[in-house]
Structure 1
């Protein structure tokens, strides 16, 4: 009897120690860093509709909260991830590629999904400018982050085509880091040194309505067609610790894109609720429903041109064999590029 009692007590002690570990086995909150604009609408919809929580509960997990953190530019988002303040980054393709290259043997960062395909437009208020040559030494070009953002890399790629391989950084000294809302305000205000803005949706749409604004180029001209501008990515360390929640996030992103594509009005209402201010709901709905301009899909498209450019320029050391090396296996059955 004493032996049985000791065994019972030992078993109870083991269970009391094991139970908290099981409860903490996977996170109960997922933190996302996101930027400004319609490129991040899937994250906004996913959080608003509690889609991660729904998928997690369907898998037998407990409640999983979603928290969003607004940040500007890849460097700020990456710093937040490395500091343990966020679990997923929804940001431009080049910063993800850069971090993938640097963490191959450590954090093992990869993308879980594309944030969709939409163009970036380099807009200017400099009179009579029709190409990049006309912008040389003409004011400042606002973009989310100098040298590393998707806009910065696209500008370098465009300069390489326009001025030659040795002059791909010709306009870099004119670029300045600035969040899209502030950049648009500065451009249209016309009272600052900002004379150009490499804008994303919806800001490029609003700027185009001003008769002083001219489009210098579209990122689709540089990339050769529709392309992924932003992706959702995280570390392998986090994925290994939270495999079911990871799967819930992957499914939730697809759920969000389904809602956006099938219910553009509802998606516009969610966007407006998350971005207080003077927003024309009908206009946002029109942008979302415009399939020629924006495609909300998790499948990546034309990611490799960025990889090839960054590798050729020595910005990354490792050249992936294909886009699949940059994405987790939940994407590998897609027709990506």
Structure 2
């Protein structure tokens, strides 16, 4: 028979063999989905620079690989996350709010951080336009996803201010879903039905250089100040299964923000290497340095105006009292809004 001492030694040996497996119980790869534009630069930097792996190793759960997928539009991203094809998705605030509302008793979707403040500009080639009324019946307005994207909701909020509460959807019938690169190309070509584009950076920046372009509205005017251009979010189910890897991602986001703010040229190079087409490094660096165009901070800003509008319009059932209800606790010490 096995003695008590031998049993203890055997158990200790089994535990020592099991320890690495227990430490590796969390995922060894994190999959991020992002769209097109500089609003997503922190995600690109985080993945390309191996920042998640670095933090995961410090927390004792490495190695952890990070993979980046380019997906256009909120609906496609959400479908990918719900199907288990990606772990974190990114995009404008309204789709995240909508998903938070719908999953409160199930998947418990929340955001881990803002990707930074960045205005959206509604640009047009329609001549002599001074306000939204001048766009009525004048071609199509391109944005990433009709009715549900941050651009679509911002346009509705702007229309409500311009045409009254019942006129919030006055321009909805003219909107069309289109990725930003294609929308910019269509707008500047002057050869399609696209006469306006609700653009993020850098596309709004490039469009403004064309003398035919007029900026009709800025999202900062609609929301009353700076706001998150995009947020990164995931499910409570994933976080509960991978608490340390989640913490590694949260820390890696801060590392990415620091790199972008301290080394804008390097950040521009990372962006250029990860996006198709010819990227002007000097111009990209200038955008990154310009805080009025892009302010890279993880603190959520401009969230609650969307919440109020969506609840008033019946798009969400629950009215959260604070942005903290929509974000994980790693953001709860921030002075967001």
How would you bin the TM-score normalised by the shorter chain? over 0.9
Kindly provide the CA deviation profile for residues 186-232 of structure 1, in whole angstroms up to 9, marking residues without a partner as x.
Answer: 00011111110000000000000111111000001100111112101
TM-score (norm 1): 0.96
Q: Partners in 2 of 1:205 and 1:101 — Cα distance?
A: 34
- The yes-or-no answer on 1:42 pairing with 2:36 is no
Please list every run of at least 4 consecutive aligned residues from structure 1 whose deviation after the TM superposition is greater than 3 angstroms.
Answer: 2-21
TM-score (norm 2): 0.96
- The answer as to whether partners of 2:36 and 2:70 remain within 8 angstroms in 1 is yes
Which residue in the other structure is 1:100 paired with? 100
Pairs within 5 Å for 1:150-299: 150-299=150-299
Kindly provide the CA deviation profile for residues 247-291 of structure 1, in whole angstroms up to 9, marking residues without a partner as x.
Answer: 110011011010101110000000000013211100000000001
Q: Structure 2: give runs of 5+ residues left out of the alignment.
A: none
Which residue in the other structure is 1:56 paired with? 56
Which residue in the other structure is 1:144 paired with? 144
SS of 2:300's equivalent in the other structure is: coil
- The answer as to whether partners of 2:123 and 2:215 remain within 8 angstroms in 1 is yes
SS of 2:226's equivalent in the other structure is: coil
Q: Partners in 2 of 1:165 and 1:51 — Cα distance?
A: 46
Pairs within 5 Å for 1:49-128: 49-128=49-128
Shift of 1:74: 1.0
- The answer as to whether partners of 2:24 and 2:61 remain within 8 angstroms in 1 is no
Q: Partners in 2 of 1:16 and 1:299 — Cα distance?
A: 41
Q: Partners in 2 of 1:21 and 1:45 — Cα distance?
A: 30
RMSD between aligned alpha carbons?
1.9
How many aligned positions are there? 337
- The answer as to whether partners of 2:23 and 2:60 remain within 8 angstroms in 1 is no
Shift of 1:62: 2.0
Question: Which range is displaced more, 16-25 or 184-193?
Answer: 16-25
Q: Partners in 1 of 2:277 and 2:70 — Cα distance?
A: 16
SS of 1:234's equivalent in the other structure is: strand
SS of 1:118's equivalent in the other structure is: coil
Kindly provide the CA deviation profile for residues 13-35 of structure 1, in whole angstroms up to 9, marking residues without a partner as x.
Answer: 97699568625411110001100
